[in-house]
Amino acid sequence: MSLSKLAGKGVYVQGNDIDTDRIIPARYLKCVTFDELGPSLFYDVRFESDGTSKDHVLDAHQHEGAEILISDDNFGCGSSREHAPQAIQKFGLKAVIAGSFAEIFQGNCTTLGIPCVVMDEANRVKLTADVEKHPESEIIIDLEGMQVICANAIYPILMKESTREAFLTSTFDPLDNLLGAKTEIHSTAKKLGYA
Amino acid sequence: MGKNLFQKVWDDHVIRQLDNGQHQVFMALHLIHEVTSPQAFGMLKDKGLNVAYPKRTYATVDHIIPTDNQSRPLADDMAEKMIQVLSDASSEHGIEFFAPESGSQGIVHVVGPELGLTQPGMTICCGDSHTATHGAFGCIALGIGTSQVRDVLASQTLAMDPLKVRRIKVDGELSVGVTAKDVILHIIRILGVNGGVGYAYEYGGSVIDAMTMEERMTVCNMSIEGGARCGYINPDETTFEFLKGRERVPADFDEACEKWRGYASDLEASYDDEVLISAADIKPTVTWGVTPAQAISIEELVPSPHKAEGLDKNLINDALSYMKLEAGAPIKGTKIDVAFIGSCTNGRLSDFQAVAKVIEGKTVASNVRAIAVPGSEKVDKDARAIGLHDLFEAAGFEWRKPGCSMCLAMNPDKLVGDEICASSSNRNFIGRQGSSTGRTILMSPIMVAASAIEGSVADAREVFNLTEETS
């Protein structure tokens, strides 16, 4: 499955340095599979401790069914927990647009097939204003053209070339590729005294 | 032109370049624990795969294990299940498991070095962002996600891009009361929480050279808090001295040292960036906000949003409102409720020794709940052997069993409501210590002890009368 083009409604979760503890609080890491994580996404930001809604933007009716998450700088910093991108994906979000990303988070997203694309602040301001005004607008992330298209406006985006290539060639989950080099792995292990 | 350590270790471990441009890199050591790894075994099973190099993976439990009562089955069913799944998967695949009460259990980043599993020149990975700790030995040590844990179990390799290297040189001499924790908090404060994105940090300079291995681990541990994928220190005689005689080091130790010495960055190595930090500028440092870069010296005032703009202004405002701190007020004197000494950042023997040296005869304030959590069973045993546990208890600390504990509060050790914790851990994120309104102030172990005794954020130099003569 090539992920060269994705489209969906957007939702803007504002703020720099949104860490993975905020994306998925540690108590939800008590699980032996990732299957049930969707509803716990951003839990403490969305709900009071008694479960009452804080009317967070992710729960606003006009953003129901949103598939593109937009945020600001250093998104996904902190803990390496894959539970964070797993929760994002299971919530129904397919891609993230932000000012910048923390690397472990971005790597985890890539492996799961969630493109993380970088957009500068000036363009993000325009895009998020548009999303807030017209939440039903479709956002198209085009990794071939390295652009986001929304309501007839085109916004340039960035992505590391090897990551982009991985999405374009559907090799974002590297496992099969890695397993294709068993002989070379063994000789490296032997050379270094590890086998 | 010489090479730096990152380039040398990278070149040794690269297997090939993949079609998309990434590299396939062999992982010399893989550490797993009960929270981010059990799911990877499920993924292997789904794909009908086996563990390729089981002798290169070691398992232990740390994140979820209670620190008061560790008798099995654990009171928390899910915690018990996670530990059991890891234990079963380890025995099924022939992976060595350091179980509770084996004498070798503990926080994965404390256990690796103390057993001598962590060795210079290795590539090391673990499903935990604080894997950077192992970089103290001159390793490329990476935090990874669960799918990557799966990749390493199945192939002993990772797909990754090389990193740039920033040399951070800390020169001069630290003044009394200033610790390795203050050094790294200061570095993060200056370079920011995302300043390290795309980089490995190489720490050097006279301050780093003079540090013990445990201090070096504290520095490398928080590299991730500065956004760096990993951090390392070149191996030297201090490194070899620490490893000598440890259980899992190579039989021909001298020969190993020769090889390890060769991994250190060449004198003429080049770097993508260099930063110079003066030891004289580093003071006992504490955080005031909700990221580790939101830090000030104990002498400073809580920042005011008025001078900032745009999102920065929002960040300060949001942090102040969450922390319920007043802009422009001194951080010193902020009332605390809890004091926590432990974690992979500051839960080693020397951390407890440093505190023991100053708390004798002093008592934790009545409004403070204070806990000391050794990083491993070995730290616990060694601390007890020299009477530290009695000393901490006499001062009013609870001395607990090993685990991650209140660093991330996945076990019963949690803040309640909006309690403030003076903490020797590594993250002051919103809700990090188990309550969605709980507040964390990061600092060194001796600063936590001083704050516990005063009942409020305090300057260890004043509380313990530290002067150049007493140090």
Least CB–CB distance from A111: residue in B12, B13, B148: B148
Calculate mean pLDDT across residues B410-428. Answer: 97
At A94, list the tokens: 């397919």
pLDDT grade for B468, boundaries at 50, 70 and 90: confident
Asked if the structure places residue B471 within a domain, the reply is no
d(CA B386, CA A61): 62
User: CB distance B82–A30 less than 8 Å?
Assistant: yes
Q: Which chain B residues are Cβ-neighbours of A101 within 8 angstroms? A: 197
Least CB–CB distance from B39: residue in A34, A161, A169: A34
Q: Which chain A residues are Cβ-neighbours of B52 within 8 angstroms? A: 182, 185
Distance from CA of B197 to the nearest CA of A (A): 7
pLDDT at residue A5 above 60?
yes
What confidence score (pLDDT) does residue B469 get?
66
Range of the domain at B133: 5-274
SS3 state at B34: coil
Residues of chain B above pLDDT 90, percent: 96
What confidence score (pLDDT) does residue B258 get?
98
Residue given tokens 């004043």 in the structure block: B462
pLDDT at residue B428 above 90?
yes
Distance from CA of B183 to the nearest CA of A (A): 19
pLDDT tens-digit map of A146-177:
999 999 999 999 999 999 999 999 999 999 99
d(CA B300, CA B201): 27
**Burial of A129 from C-beta contacts in 10 A (0-12 / 13-18 / 19+):** exposed
Contact B466, B176 (CB under 8 A): yes
d(CA A136, CA A139): 9
Contact B142, B125 (CB under 8 A): yes
d(CA B429, CA B143): 18
Asked if the structure places residue B291 within a domain, the reply is yes
pLDDT tens-digit map of A64-78:
999 999 999 999 999
End residue of a domain, out of B274, B302, B332: B274
End residue of a domain, out of B204, B239, B274: B274
- Give residues with Cβ within 8 angstroms of B134, minimum separation 6: B29, B109, B112, B113, B118, B122, B124, B141, B217, B220
Least CB–CB distance from B53: residue in A79, A175, A189: A189
* CA-angle at A104, arms to A103 and A105, nearest 5°: 90
> In what order do the strands lie in the sheet containing B420-423?
B397-399, B369-372, B338-341, B420-423, B439-442
End residue of a domain, out of B274, B303, B327: B274
Q: Which chain A residues are Cβ-neighbours of B193 within 8 angstroms? A: 17, 74, 77
What confidence score (pLDDT) does residue A2 get?
73
CATH of the domain at B338: 3.30.499.10
Calculate mean pLDDT across residues B257-283. Answer: 98
**Burial of A1 from C-beta contacts in 10 A (0-12 / 13-18 / 19+):** exposed
Contact B107, B62 (CB under 8 A): yes
Least CB–CB distance from B129: residue in A33, A80, A195: A80
User: CB distance B410–A82 less than 8 Å?
Assistant: no
Q: Which chain A residues are Cβ-neighbours of B26 within 8 angstroms? A: 185, 188-189, 192, 194
User: CB distance A33–B154 less than 8 Å?
Assistant: no
Distance from CA of A129 to the nearest CA of B (A): 15
Most B CBs within 10 A among A54, A80, A112, A185, hence the mutation to make, goes to A80
CA–centroid distance for A95 within its chain:
5
* CA-angle at B95, arms to B373 and A21, nearest 5°: 45
Q: Are residue B261 and residue B307 in the same domain, yes or no?
A: no
Domains of chain A by residue range: 5-191
Least CB–CB distance from B408: residue in A26, A171, A192: A26
Q: Are residue B133 and residue B270 in the same domain, yes or no?
A: yes
Least CB–CB distance from B410: residue in A29, A77, A195: A29
Least CB–CB distance from B127: residue in A78, A80, A169: A80
Smallest Cα–Cα separation from B406: which of B414, B394, B396?
Answer: B414
d(CA A185, CA A193): 12
State phi, psi for B23 to the nearest 5 degrees.
Answer: -115, 150
User: CB distance B26–A29 less than 8 Å?
Assistant: no
pLDDT tens-digit map of B385-407:
999 999 999 999 999 999 999 99
Contact A188, B26 (CB under 8 A): yes
Q: Are residue B80 and residue B167 in the same domain, yes or no?
A: yes
Q: Are residue B155 and residue B248 in the same domain, yes or no?
A: yes
User: CB distance B19–A16 less than 8 Å?
Assistant: no
Asked if the structure places residue B338 within a domain, the reply is yes
Q: Are residue B302 and residue B341 in the same domain, yes or no?
A: yes
Distance from CA of B156 to the nearest CA of A (A): 8
User: CB distance A189–B229 less than 8 Å?
Assistant: no
Q: Are residue B300 and residue B447 in the same domain, yes or no?
A: yes
pLDDT grade for B1, boundaries at 50, 70 and 90: confident
Calculate mean pLDDT across residues B412-417. Answer: 97
Least CB–CB distance from B157: residue in A32, A34, A178: A178
Distance from CA of B128 to the nearest CA of A (A): 5
CB count within 10 Å of CB B156 equals 27
Q: What is the complex's ipTM, to 2 decimals?
A: 0.96
Q: Are residue B262 and residue B319 in the same domain, yes or no?
A: no
pLDDT tens-digit map of B65-103:
999 999 999 999 999 999 999 999 999 999 999 999 999
Q: Are residue B256 and residue B383 in the same domain, yes or no?
A: no
Q: Are residue B115 and residue B240 in the same domain, yes or no?
A: yes
pLDDT grade for B328, boundaries at 50, 70 and 90: very high
Q: Are residue B240 and residue B327 in the same domain, yes or no?
A: no
pLDDT grade for A136, boundaries at 50, 70 and 90: very high
At B39, list the tokens: 């799911």
Q: Is B238 left (phi over 0), alpha (psi -120 to 50) or beta?
A: alpha
Residue in A closest to B292 by C-alpha: A78
d(CA B14, CA B163): 13
User: CB distance A175–B155 less than 8 Å?
Assistant: yes
Contact B392, B352 (CB under 8 A): yes
Indicate the number of domains in chain B: 2
- For the domain A5-191, what is the CATH code? 3.20.19.10
Distance set, CA B298 to CA A176, B290, B337, B364, B412 (Å): 52, 17, 18, 20, 30
Distance from CA of A85 to the nearest CA of B (A): 10
Strand positions, DSSP E, A95-167? 95-98, 116-118, 138-142, 147-150, 153-156
What confidence score (pLDDT) does residue B314 get?
85
- Chain A with chain B: Cβ pairs closer than 8 A: 203
Asked if the structure places residue B470 within a domain, the reply is no
Q: Are residue B369 and residue B257 in the same domain, yes or no?
A: no
User: CB distance A174–B82 less than 8 Å?
Assistant: no
Distance from CA of A53 to the nearest CA of B (A): 14
At B96, list the tokens: 């060595």
CB count within 10 Å of CB A78 equals 27
How many alpha carbons fall within 13 Å on the CB side of residue B319?
A: 27
pLDDT at residue B310 above 90?
no
3-state helix, strand, coil in chain B (%, to 5): 40, 20, 45
pLDDT grade for B470, boundaries at 50, 70 and 90: low
User: CB distance A185–B144 less than 8 Å?
Assistant: no
Q: Which chain A residues are Cβ-neighbours of B8 within 8 angstroms? A: none
pLDDT tens-digit map of A7-39:
999 999 999 999 999 999 999 999 989 999 999
Q: Are residue B254 and residue B298 in the same domain, yes or no?
A: no
State phi, psi for B247 to the nearest 5 degrees.
Answer: -55, -45
Distance from CA of A9 to the nearest CA of B (A): 24
